[in-house]
Each structure stands twice: as C-alpha cells, then as structure tokens.
Amino acid sequence: MIITIFGATGMVGKELVKQALFKGYTVRAFGRNVFTSGFNDDNNLNLIQGALFDDKQVLDAIKGSDAVCSTLGGAVDGNDQTRSLGMKHIVTQMQKSGTSRIIAIGGMGILLDEDGKLMMESKGFNKTYLPVSLEHNKAYEYVKNSSLNWTFVCPPDIINEGPTGIFKTAKDHLPADSSYIEKDIRDDFANCSLSHILAVSGMHISYIIIGVSVLLTKIFG
C-alpha cells in the first residue's frame, strides 16, 4: 500500500510516517522541509519536497497512492488558513488523481455536544481555540462535500509522548464516558489514524474522536 502524507514534518506527521513504515507501507512524505527534518533512510520512504498550493506538485504526490493522510497544522489564532485552504487544495487534486481515500485531522471543537450543537459553540468550550476550530470546520466541510471516501479524525490536545496502546473512538460525538479524556498521545493517535485506512475502506463515515485513557495513567503512574 502506498500512502501520501501531507504535513509529514509536523509532530503527528512524523509519527504517522514512522508507524506507516513499520507496518510495511510505502510512504510519500510531502512537505517544504522534508530533507532537513531528520527522517531516517528507508527503502519504502519517498521524500517529496513541495509547496502545498502548487497544483502539479500536490497532484504528482497523490497520483498512484492508495490513500492520503493529512496532518496539516498552523497557527491557533486563525490567521493561518493552511488547515482549511490546504485541505481544499488536497481535495481538489485528489479528485483529479483518482485516489479517493483520505484520513484528515481536525479538532474536538467540531464534534457535537449532547444537544446536537458543535462543541465550539457550547458555553464550556475554551474560546481560545475557537479560531482554530473554525478553521477545522471549514476543512471538514471541504472534505464532507467532496466525492472522496473520507474519515475526519478529531482528537483533543495532542501531546508529544510515547504510546500507551489505549485509545477510544466514537462517531460525531465525544465518547459517552469522555470526562477524563484530556489529552491525546501522539503515537496512539497516529496508530489509530493508520488503522482507519483499511478498517473503513469503502465507507463514508463522519469525524471521529480519538482519545487516550489518561485516567489509567493517572491511577497506575
């Protein structure tokens, strides 16, 4: 299986590359700084230096891939539209390429609360994250309204720590017992994201919340 990863030089992107290679996939890691980001040599790793808004470079990176993973990031203050416009561009080029499977990262602000409203619109939502949540929502709309076979993964805060092997998923909403889900471990998030490439292939599903059971970590150290 060939996977193209956009945002490959970021915290989550690097872990996705690492775990995809471990699973035996061929990885195309796309980004501006891929040759200076510390990737180890691997026969199954193709580093593609390119610009996200260059039509040809993005299309060439996608052609022939079985799936695309997008871990695009950007500023939290909403001034950076890489998440939304970058996703729009990836979707456009995917629809030209013939590759239809995409796993993309969003944020928990665009999940639904118990009243069916977006989490970012609820009273208890930290408004510091409202601008970036609006960006995630725009990106989600581009994916949702496309003809692609998509999964939109919406974790809580992602922290740079090793794997626990514990994560939970739910559709559209936070898991019912999610009061203790405060952070999402980078490695667990990457592992669960990769599992969806095959697990839901051929299905349209809406965004998913991935959370690590940090309660167990707190109890057992």
Identify the domain containing residue 37 by its residue range: 2-220
What pLDDT does 134 receive? 92
**Above 80 in pLDDT, residue 16?**
yes
d(CA 137, CA 165): 28
Beta strands in 50-100 (DSSP E): 67-70
What pLDDT does 164 receive? 63
Nearest residue to 165 via CA among 6, 19, 14: 19
The CATH number assigned to the domain holding 91 equals 3.40.50.720
For 54-95, the pLDDT digits (tens) are 999 999 999 999 999 999 987 777 678 889 999 999 999 999
For 92-124, the pLDDT digits (tens) are 999 999 999 998 888 888 888 878 888 888 888
The percent of residues in the chain predicted with pLDDT above 90, rounded, is 36
Strands 2-6 and 26-31, by their bridges, are parallel
d(CA 147, CA 70): 17
Mean pLDDT for 139-145 is 93
Q: Domain count of the chain? A: 1
